[in-house]
């Protein structure tokens, strides 16, 4: 039997189903949009906008902005050899001694002795070379650490020098003087462009051996005599430290007004 009420209920069911999908989809879209917005807020800052923090891994290092370049370079000493020179003069001998002192502390290669060949002073240069070889041996330079090479000059040359050279490290800092911004206006309290440049330049100028900026020096041998004395006192139960003199002791009560 046909029932109009029942037909209305069957026909209304799909409409009610379409209405219930709307309120479920809207909250889901809002939740996805909110999660994306929060994810964007948690992204790490870019290197351009990151502010270095004191004591953090992002803290500023002067050595990064103003590095010291360490590279090898040549040190050379020219010994003048006139045509009829008998050998090394006292002044030249003193120059060679100062040159060898620097070589022993800074040298990073063998010594190269370049002798002129073909000039009018070739005979005098060979005489100076013999004296120089003897002098190098007397100063403790091994023959294996010396290289002899000729260099050719024009026939009319009368005073071509004997050249002694070796390689050593040099420290070259970055140039200073770049002031692109007003350092009085820095809302983020960041270091300015020239921060640490003067310190790096002073370090490069004062370092005794630029090689120390690359690798540390080898530890020297311990004092075996002092070590034996200390161990002997320790076995006997005595004080191992050095005794203090009366000049090294004092107290505030002994200070006179």
pLDDT tens-digit readout, 184-237: 887 877 778 888 899 999 999 999 999 999 998 888 888 889 889 999 999 999
pLDDT higher for 182 or 94? 94
Mean pLDDT within 74-92? 91
Task: Note the pLDDT of residue 48.
Answer: 46
Structure tokens at 42: 């948690």
Rounded CA separation 126/131 (Å): 9
What is the model's pLDDT at position 5?
A: 42
- How much is the average pLDDT of 136-158? 91
pLDDT at 66 over 60: yes
Q: What pLDDT is attached to residue 47? A: 47
Among 3.30.1330.60, 3.90.79.10, 3.40.50.2000, 3.40.50.720, what is the CATH number of 71-172? 3.30.1330.60
Please, where in the chain does CATH 3.30.1330.60 lie? 71-172
| Confidence bin at 13 (pLDDT 50/70/90) | very low
Q: Which of 94-108, 163-177, 238-252 is predicted least confidently?
A: 238-252
- Which of these ranges, 7-21, 32-46, 53-67, 164-178, has the smallest mean pLDDT? 7-21
**Global pTM?**
0.61
């Amino acid at each position: 039997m046909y029932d109009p009420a029942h037909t209305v209920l069957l026909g209304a069911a799909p409409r009610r189903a379409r209405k219930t999908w709307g309120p479920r989809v809207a909250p889901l879209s809002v939740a996805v949009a909110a999660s994306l917005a929060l994810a964007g807020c948690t992204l790490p800052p870019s290197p351009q906008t990151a502010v270095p923090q004191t004591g953090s891994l992002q803290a500023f290092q002067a050595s990064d902005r103003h590095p010291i370049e360490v590279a090898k370079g040549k040190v050379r000493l020219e010994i003048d050899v006139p045509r009829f020179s008998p050998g090394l003069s006292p002044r030249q001998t003193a120059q060679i001694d100062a040159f060898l002192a620097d070589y022993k502390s800074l040298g990073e290669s063998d010594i190269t002795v370049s002798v002129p060949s073909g000039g009018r002073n070739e005979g005098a240069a060979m005489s100076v070379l013999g004296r120089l070889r003897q002098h190098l041996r007397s100063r403790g330079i091994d023959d294996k650490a010396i290289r002899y090479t000729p260099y050719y000059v024009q026939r009319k040359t009368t005073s071509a020098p004997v050249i002694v050279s070796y390689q050593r490290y040099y420290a070259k800092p970055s140039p200073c003087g770049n002031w692109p911004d007003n350092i009085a206006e820095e809302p983020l309290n960041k270091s300015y462009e020239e921060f640490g440049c003067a310190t790096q330049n002073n370090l490069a100028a004062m370092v005794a051996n630029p090689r120390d900026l690359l690798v540390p020096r080898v530890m020297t041998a311990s004092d075996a005599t002092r070590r034996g004395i200390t161990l002997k006192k320790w076995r006997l139960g005595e004080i191992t430290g050095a005794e203090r003199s009366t000049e090294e002791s004092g107290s505030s009560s002994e200070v006179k007004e």
